[in-house]
Structure 1
Amino acid sequence: MPDNGDWIETCKAQDVGREDVKRWDHGDRSFAIFRTADDRYYVTDDICTHEYAHISDGFVEGTTVECPRHAGCFDFRTGEALNPPVCVNLRTFPAKVEDGLVYIRLADD
């Protein structure tokens, strides 16, 4: 996906619950959109780096998401892998909210 400096609209900000995650598909990719208790939004790839599982199906607590397949955890703000079996970080993407909509900016792979 080319990086042309544009932001892509994903969903309404209210569609993502506080301390929760929402899956968003774009082209052939899936993304996980997170909202913190203080209304900050973060976006990561939605596929776990350990084995194929949607991160958006995982359990969110604070700023951590637990993969539903093998319970590896990531800090969704940075994508950092926090405990085995995950050892490769999730890719993250810039996110912003304008006029009640969540936008992300994709960069070249």
Structure 2
Amino acid sequence: MLDDRNWVKACDAKKVGREDVARWDHSGRSFAIFRTADDQYYATDDICTHEYAHISDGFVEGTTVECPRHAGCFDFRTGEALNPPVCVNLRTFPVKVVDGAVYIDIDER
């Protein structure tokens, strides 16, 4: 059962491979949905904070994603910028998997 957050169905959980990322566009915004080796799901804004590039086109290793444009890395669990040239964290969003579907709370609280 979903709680009172603004949960929006993003995709089937199977769409996101283990240790990979998938792009999801909704209401004019792009989100990156990540899945870890132990089937934990995370979501961030999909646009790099350094320069316009889709994070979902980047390389995922462990819990880190490397931006495809200038190789700056983020911890996608927290959004933390890990190395130059990125210095501003990615925004993260709560994620829930219900009945095989990934839901993201995209509320602007």
Q: What TM-score bracket applies, with the shorter chain setting the length? A: over 0.9
Q: Matched residues in 1 for 2:5 and 2:62: separation?
A: 30
The amino acid that maps onto 2:74 is F
- Matches of residues 57-76 of structure 1 in structure 2 within 5 Å? 57-76=57-76
Q: Matched residues in 2 for 1:79 and 1:105: separation?
A: 16
- Matches of residues 37-52 of structure 1 in structure 2 within 5 Å? 37-52=37-52
Following TM superposition, by how much is the alpha carbon of 1:92 offset from its aligned partner in structure 2, in angstroms? 0.1
Number of the residue aligned with 2:99? 99
Q: Matched residues in 1 for 2:81 and 2:98: separation?
A: 29
Q: Matched residues in 2 for 1:95 and 1:21: separation?
A: 14
The amino acid that maps onto 2:33 is I
The amino acid that maps onto 2:20 is D
3-state SS, counterpart of residue 56 of structure 1: helix
Q: Is the 8 A contact 2:16 2:33 kept in 1?
A: yes
Q: Matched residues in 1 for 2:5 and 2:24: separation?
A: 20
The amino acid that maps onto 1:21 is V
Following TM superposition, by how much is the alpha carbon of 1:6 offset from its aligned partner in structure 2, in angstroms? 2.5
% identical equivalent positions: 79
Q: Does 1:33 align with 2:33?
A: yes
Q: Matched residues in 1 for 2:14 and 2:55: separation?
A: 20
CA RMSD of aligned residues (A): 1.0
Following TM superposition, by how much is the alpha carbon of 1:5 offset from its aligned partner in structure 2, in angstroms? 2.3
Following TM superposition, by how much is the alpha carbon of 1:106 offset from its aligned partner in structure 2, in angstroms? 1.2
Q: Matched residues in 1 for 2:36 and 2:6: separation?
A: 24
Stretches of structure 2 that go unaligned for 5 or more consecutive residues are: none
The amino acid that maps onto 2:61 is E
